[in-house]
Amino acid sequence: MSTAHELWHVVLALVWLDLVLVLLGTLAVILLIWGAAQRKALLLLPWLAVELLDAAYELGFFAFMFLSNDVAIAIDLLPILALPITVYCWLVVYSLYQECKETEERNTSLPLPLSMSALEAGGAGALGGCTVPYGRMAA
């Protein structure tokens, strides 16, 4: 097998890997948007993982192209130049993840809210020991 043929297999494998990363990235972005809107920390994790893998892939691809002395190295510099923006976005989403996780932990440690059905039925409210019946107030 020739060196050019082996290089072709490596490039083809990298193209397929890139396609898989694009599909995973699309799914991760959808989950990121949904998770940010719903304030669900768990839905932010796929984007964080995919972006971390993508950044590692970009660095590896850059190193491969640099070591192979390819003439198109200037084109391959573009993803590396975008790496600081990627790191910044990753840190912003990670910060949102931490905030959502803290909020979820706080919400699970709070007592369950009083249901409206108990209040509408004329039961006494349990807010601060208040005994005013909420459902049927005297006119």
List pLDDT tens digits, range 41-70. Answer: 999 999 999 899 888 878 887 777 777 776
User: Can you give the pLDDT at residue 36?
Assistant: 95
Give the C-alpha separation, 72 to 82, whole Å. Answer: 17
On whether the CB atoms of residues 62 and 72 are closer than 8 A, the answer is no
On whether the CB atoms of residues 112 and 119 are closer than 8 A, the answer is no
Tokens matching residue 83 = 């790496």
pTM to 2 decimal places: 0.62
**Residue 127 carries which DSSP code?**
S
Mean pLDDT within 125-134: 41
Mean pLDDT within 57-85: 75
User: Can you give the pLDDT at residue 70?
Assistant: 62
Mean pLDDT within 105-131: 56
Tokens matching residue 60 = 């590896």
